[in-house]
Amino acid sequence: MHRELTIDGMFEKLIAGDRVALSKAITLVESSKEEHQAKATQLLTKCAERDSKSRRIGITGVPGVGKSTFIEALGLQLIANGRKVAVLAVDPSSDLTKGSILGDKTRMEQLSADANAFIRPSPSGGALGGVARSTRETVVLCEAAGYDHILIETVGVGQSETVVHSLVDMFVLLVLANAGDELQGIKRGIMEMADMVVINKDDGANAAYTKMAVAGYAQALHMFPAKESGWTVPVLTCSSTELRGFDEILATAEQYFALMESTGRLQLERAEQSRFWLYRAIDEELRTRFLHDPNVQHQLEVLEDKVALGKIGPFEAARELLRNWNQIN
């Protein structure tokens, strides 16, 4: 049924901006089959040889903050400015819920109909490491296909923010201006990752609280150590439904990228991210192999309980497990 395409053929179509070829290429990198992985590697190597000046932007925020509406408005504005936009999502829970996968496309109606936008739901695929890998490789494919702005949404489940933060150049935290404890819903550590805080839904009843919220977030951000780049994290406001505030958001993003590029930090951080994923992929695979060993599995169950009860120290338990693994490897 599935017509075979050579990797060279797929690559040519991909760099010509063919959306079907891009979709197929993404399906290829998402596949865990050995033969697909080999082909994906070939394709990615060809893509990596091309220079791309893309901007990778991560977007996070608690459920209900309006991420999809914001991304749609931002994407349409970018396209109006002559850009090509790819929207990806990292949702390690998508195997279970499915909802969010379909949700994105139907919610971003206008953007998904635009010829200069490409929307791809989160890969399903178990471990976060797997989702991270396919998303990162999908970014490379989208860039080769000419998309110069890659927006990656995190659903805020598990470690998804940390993953997205390690995949992008700029991390945007979307928040609401509610009265009172507006920060309480935000997960630990997220605020520190943000390169820009945007108060969404600056309209209707919320608008009354916006000024106070801007001051509150600015103060909270001031509590954190300065960014190494020297960048001061701004607090901006917007209304995704009334389409206000996006000019300023994009102008500020422009300043951010100008700073990151002129200081060489953009390249530096991408190189750091690549090294991070290299070692993380190695660690994950080593642990998987270790834990899949039947001898280890059995012994680990027993030892983990003893460790949790304090009947054996964790380091001794690790030593014992590794000693036994040694004997059979």
Which class for 297: exposed (0-12), middle (13-18), buried (19 or more C-beta within 10 A)?
A: exposed
Nearest to 200 by CA among 235, 239, 171, 153: 239
CA 63 from centre of chain: 16
Among 37, 232, 255, 297, binds a copy of itself (CB under 8 A): 37
Q: 152: helix, coil or strand?
A: strand
28: left (phi over 0), alpha (psi -120 to 50) or beta: alpha
Task: Let me know how many helices (H) and strands (E) the chain has, helices first.
Answer: 15, 7
Q: Which residue type does 68 have?
A: S
> By CB under 8 A, is residue 232 in contact with a copy of itself?
no
CB of 32 to a copy of itself, least distance (A): 12
| Residue 239: strand pairing partners | 244
Count interface residues toward a copy of itself (CB under 8 A): 60
> By CB under 8 A, is residue 302 in contact with a copy of itself?
no
Spell out a b/e string for 79-103, using b for 16 or more CB atoms within 10 Å of the CB, else e.
Answer: beeebbbbbbbbbbbbeeeeebbee
With respect to a copy of itself, which residue has the nearer C-beta, 82 or 230?
A: 230
The one segment of 54-62, 168-176, 237-245, 308-316 that binds a copy of itself by CB under 8 A: 308-316
With respect to a copy of itself, which residue has the nearer C-beta, 40 or 71?
A: 40
Among 287, 295, 297, 302, binds a copy of itself (CB under 8 A): 287
> By CB under 8 A, is residue 254 in contact with a copy of itself?
no
The one segment of 76-84, 89-97, 114-122, 318-326 that binds a copy of itself by CB under 8 A: 318-326
Angle between helices 128-144 and 19-30 (to 10 degrees): 150
> By CB under 8 A, is residue 310 in contact with a copy of itself?
yes
> By CB under 8 A, is residue 314 in contact with a copy of itself?
yes
Please give the residue ranges that form the binding site for a copy of itself (CB under 8 A).
Answer: 37, 41, 44-45, 48-49, 133, 136-137, 140, 181, 183-189, 191-192, 219-220, 222-226, 270-271, 274-279, 281-283, 285-287, 290, 303-304, 307-319, 321-322, 329
